[in-house]
Amino acid sequence: MTKGFINYRKILIVGLGMIGGSYAEKLSALGFEVGALVRRQETLDYALAHGLIAHGQTEVTREYVSQFDLVVSALYPKAFVEWVRKYQEFLKPGAVITDVTGVKRSVVPAVQEILRADVEFVPAHPMAGRERSGVEFADSKVFAGANFIITPTERNTPEGIELVRTLGCILGFRHIAVLTPEAHDEMIGFLSQLTHCIAVALMDCKDSEHLVEYTGDSFRDLTRIARINENMWTELFLENRDELLSQMDLFLEKFTQLRDALDRGDEDTMKEMMRLSSYRRSFFDKK
C-alpha cells in the first residue's frame, strides 16, 4: 500500500506548536511541500512568514486534506483522537498518518480501531522538546542526538513502519527504536514523566528568589524541566496514570529507604545505595 518515501512529496502537519513547527521547518528545508492545519490565523502567518510551510488553513476541508500522502498529527493526545474521528473521511485513500504524542496506550488503539481500512496509522514519539511552547520556538536542531520511538501494533504493515522510520531518520534523530505501546509507556513514565514530577515537586518546595544566588549546577540541572507546559503535561500524566503512579511509588520507596537509613544513622545502607547509583550512572558516560 505504501510507496517509497520520495513519493510522499506533500506532507500535512496538523497543529503547529513547538514540535509541529520543528517538523515543518526541517521537512520544508529538505524540499518537501509542507502544508499545515492550525487553529489560529497568527500561527499560520508566522509559519508562512518564516518559511516553515508552503501553505496552510485554519479550516479543515476535504479539498485541502485529501491532497496529502503523509499526515503528521502534532496535536495533544485527546485532540488527536478527536481529529481522526471528525476528519478521517477527508483523508486520501492510501494515506499514512503518524503522530508525536508522548503517551501511546491510550492513543494507538483508540485511533487504529476507528480508522478507515484504507489508511494506516503508524504511531511515533519524537523524544525531543523545549521548556517553551508555541511555533515561535520551533527549532529542528533539538532532534539531533535525540531518540525517536515507533510503537506499532499488529495492525501496522512493514512498509508503514519503514516509512515512519525514514521520517525519523531524515528529521535528524540519532537513535530510532521500535517498542510496543506498553513498553513505551512504562519507559516514558520512568525516564520522562517521573523526572518532570520530581522537578515540579522540588521547585515547589520553597520560594526561590532568595535561593538563586546560592544555587549550584546540581539544583539547576534537577529543576530545568520544572518550567513546564501545564496543559500538555497534565494531559500526558493523566493519559498514563497507572504507569506513572507505579513509577512514582517506586521512586518514593527508594527515596524513603535512603531517608530512613539517614534517620537511623545506617551508614552501610547509605553507602550501598550510593555505590549502586554510581555504578548505574557510569553506563551513561560510556557513549
Of residues 139 through 178, those in contact with a second copy by CB under 8 A are 146-147, 149, 175, 177
Task: Give the helix ranges, DSSP H, for the chain.
Answer: 18-29, 41-49, 62-65, 77-87, 108-114, 158-171, 181-188, 195-204, 217-223, 230-239, 241-263, 267-282
Q: Applying CB under 8 A, does 199 fall inside the site for a second copy?
A: yes
Nearer to a second copy, 52 or 165 (CB): 165
Segment 102 to 131, residues that bind a second copy, using CB under 8 A: 127-128
Nearer to a second copy, 117 or 205 (CB): 205
Bridge-partner residues for 148, per DSSP?
126, 176
Q: Applying CB under 8 A, does 198 fall inside the site for a second copy?
A: yes
Q: Applying CB under 8 A, does 234 fall inside the site for a second copy?
A: yes
Tell me which stretch binds a second copy (CB under 8 A): 8-16, 41-49, 58-66, 248-256: 248-256
**95 near 69, Cβ under 8 Å?**
yes
Q: How far apart are CA 49 and CA 44, in angstroms?
A: 8
Contacts of 81 (CB under 8 A, 6+ apart): 107, 110, 111
DSSP class per residue in 68-117: -SEEEE-S-HHHHHHHHHHHGGGSPTT-EEEE--S--TTTHHHHHHHS-T
Nearer to a second copy, 10 or 78 (CB): 78
Q: Applying CB under 8 A, does 55 fall inside the site for a second copy?
A: no
Tell me which stretch binds a second copy (CB under 8 A): 45-53, 61-69, 85-93, 215-223: 215-223
Tell me which stretch binds a second copy (CB under 8 A): 4-12, 51-59, 113-121, 186-194: 186-194
Output the smallest distance, CB 51 to a second copy, in A: 28
* Residue from 1, 29, 170, 262 in contact with a second copy (CB under 8 A): 262
Output the smallest distance, CB 188 to a second copy, in A: 8
Q: Applying CB under 8 A, does 220 fall inside the site for a second copy?
A: yes
**HSE of 46, CA atoms in CB hemisphere, 13 A:** 17
User: Any idea what DSSP says for residue 173?
Assistant: B
Output the smallest distance, CB 4 to a second copy, in A: 28
Q: Applying CB under 8 A, does 53 fall inside the site for a second copy?
A: no
Output the smallest distance, CB 237 to a second copy, in A: 6
How many other C-beta atoms are found inside a 10 Å radius of the C-beta of residue 102? Answer: 26
Nearer to a second copy, 64 or 233 (CB): 233
Q: How far apart are CA 6 and CA 278, in angstroms?
A: 46
The count of residues interacting with a second copy (CB under 8 A) is 84
Q: How far apart are CA 252 and CA 258, in angstroms?
A: 10
Nearer to a second copy, 158 or 284 (CB): 284
Nearer to a second copy, 113 or 207 (CB): 207
**CA 277, 218, 270: angle at the middle one, nearest 5?**
35
Q: Applying CB under 8 A, does 40 fall inside the site for a second copy?
A: no
Output the smallest distance, CB 110 to a second copy, in A: 18
How many other C-beta atoms are found inside a 10 Å radius of the C-beta of residue 29? Answer: 12
DSSP class per residue in 31-46: T-EEEEE-S-HHHHHH
Output the smallest distance, CB 171 to a second copy, in A: 16
